[in-house]
Amino acid sequence: MEVTLERWADSQDGMFGTLRVGDLELVTVERPWKNNQPSISAIPPGTYRIILGRYNRGGYPAYELQDVPGRSLIKIHRANTMDDLLGCIGVGTDTGYINQRWAITHSADALRAFMAKMAGVQETTITIFNTDSLSL
């Protein structure tokens, strides 16, 4: 199962991208790039193992990225804005505005679609990269 995340925007409202699993495409939000600082930054581009576990704050199934340099507990979970994240990756079906901030929408639906597409895969990898126009 190939999972990729192509980041295409880094703004004061967060880092935004497209998560792809087969024919499924979702939008993502992360914290802006702040040199990989825990809880306040997106993680560096790279290929990481992801394992199926649980999102500790929500108690629902979620994938966790492994072996991120200097970081732990990086999950793919529900979130609409970067304020919903402590260094994790939020998924949605579209972009929009929430409280006058750029955001992603329908996050619960997107996470359900992502988990269904993953079909209980226990471990795979995610490759995260930035578009040519986005340099960190």
pLDDT tens-place string over residues 22-47: 999 999 999 999 999 999 999 999 99
Q: What is the pTM of this model?
A: 0.95
- pLDDT for res 43: 97
Domain presence at residue 135: no
Contact call for residues 120 and 67 (beta carbons, < 8 A): no
Cα–Cα distance, 76 to 135 (Å, whole number):
23
Domain presence at residue 30: yes
CB-neighbour burial class of residue 133 (10 A; exposed 0-12, middle 13-18, buried 19+)? exposed
Domain presence at residue 59: yes
Number of domains in the chain: 1
Domain presence at residue 136: no
- pLDDT for res 135: 61
Contact call for residues 3 and 21 (beta carbons, < 8 A): yes
Distance from CA of residue 67 to its chain's centroid?
A: 16
At 59, is the pLDDT very low, low, confident or very high (cuts 50, 70, 90)? confident
Expressed as residue numbers, the domain containing 94 is 2-130
Question: Is the pLDDT score of 136 beyond 70?
Answer: no
